[in-house]
């Protein structure tokens, strides 16, 4: 019975990891890769479900199935975080004036658009920065190193048009 339970557990991990990755890739517009993963996903799912249904009278098989499902979600999410597909737009509002932060970020290779905004307490420098998602933490830490009091918002854009970044993104 231990071999059966281990099989159920491993099949669920593989199935749900594939399911999680497929869903994320679909949302990111990677439909062909998602379709390829779905072929593996559904095959593994049917095998796992068949195995569980054979041992449905034993609660432990259902519990192992559920635990494998939970672990599969965690592993799939972890893998997606590591591959970090896509881009983020980071909006920064800073009290620092003179453009030093924007220039420093440009010197590090980031595309920065900046302008002067007006907040409750007066003028602020507003910056918008597009970066690869895998570079988000590095960018975020760079911003806070330059201005620890900066107001920072991260958004995941879905569509791009115009600007120098679109040439880079299409590659």
Nearest to 151 by CA among 77, 92, 96, 65: 92
Could you list the residue range(s) of the whole structural domain that residue 48 is in?
2-83
- The DSSP call for residue 156 is -
- Are residues 119 and 92 both part of a single domain? yes
- Per-residue pLDDT, 96: 82
- Per-residue pLDDT, 79: 87
- The DSSP call for residue 128 is E
- Per-residue pLDDT, 144: 94
Q: Which of 65, 83, 101 is the last residue of a domain?
A: 83
| Residue labelled with tokens 């658009």 | 113
Instruction: Report the C-alpha gap between 5 and 27 in whole angstroms.
Output: 33
Instruction: Report pLDDT digits (tens) over 98-115.
Output: 778 999 999 998 889 999
- Per-residue pLDDT, 121: 84
- Are residues 106 and 66 both part of a single domain? no
Q: Which residues of the chain register pLDDT less than 70?
A: 158-171
- 164 SS3 class: coil
Distance between alpha carbon 67 and the CA centroid of its chain, in Å?
Answer: 23
- Are residues 60 and 111 both part of a single domain? no
Strands of 111-119's sheet, edge to edge?
Answer: 111-119, 122-132, 87-94, 151-155
Q: Which of 59, 83, 107 is the last residue of a domain?
A: 83
Number of domains in the chain: 2
- Per-residue pLDDT, 138: 94
Is 78 exposed, middle or buried, given 0-12, 13-18 or 19+ CB atoms closer than 10 A?
exposed
Between the two ends of the chain, the Cα-to-Cα distance in Å is 51
- Per-residue pLDDT, 29: 80
Contacts of 3 (CB under 8 A, 6+ apart): none
- Are residues 110 and 150 both part of a single domain? yes
Answer whether 0.75 is exceeded by the pTM. no
> Are the C-beta atoms of residues 132 and 84 closer than 8 Å to each other?
yes
């Amino acid at each position: 019975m231990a071999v059966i339970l281990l099989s159920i557990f491993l099949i669920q991990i593989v199935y749900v990891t594939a399911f999680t990755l497929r869903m994320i890739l679909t949302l990111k517009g990677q439909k062909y890769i998602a379709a390829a993963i779905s072929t593996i996903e559904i095959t593994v799912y049917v095998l796992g479900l068949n195995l569980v249904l054979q041992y449905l009278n034993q609660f432990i098989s259902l519990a192992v199935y559920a635990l494998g499902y939970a672990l599969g979600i965690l592993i799939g999410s972890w893998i997606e975080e590591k591959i970090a597909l896509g881009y983020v737009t980071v909006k920064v509002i800073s009290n620092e004036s003179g453009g030093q932060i924007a220039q420093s970020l440009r010197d590090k290779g980031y595309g920065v658009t900046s302008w002067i905004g007006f907040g409750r307490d007066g003028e602020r420098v507003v910056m918008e920065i597009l970066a690869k998602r895998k570079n988000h933490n590095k960018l975020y830490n760079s911003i806070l190193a330059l201005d620890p009091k900066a107001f920072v918002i991260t958004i995941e854009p879905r569509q791009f048009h115009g600007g120098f970044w679109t040439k880079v993104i299409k590659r």
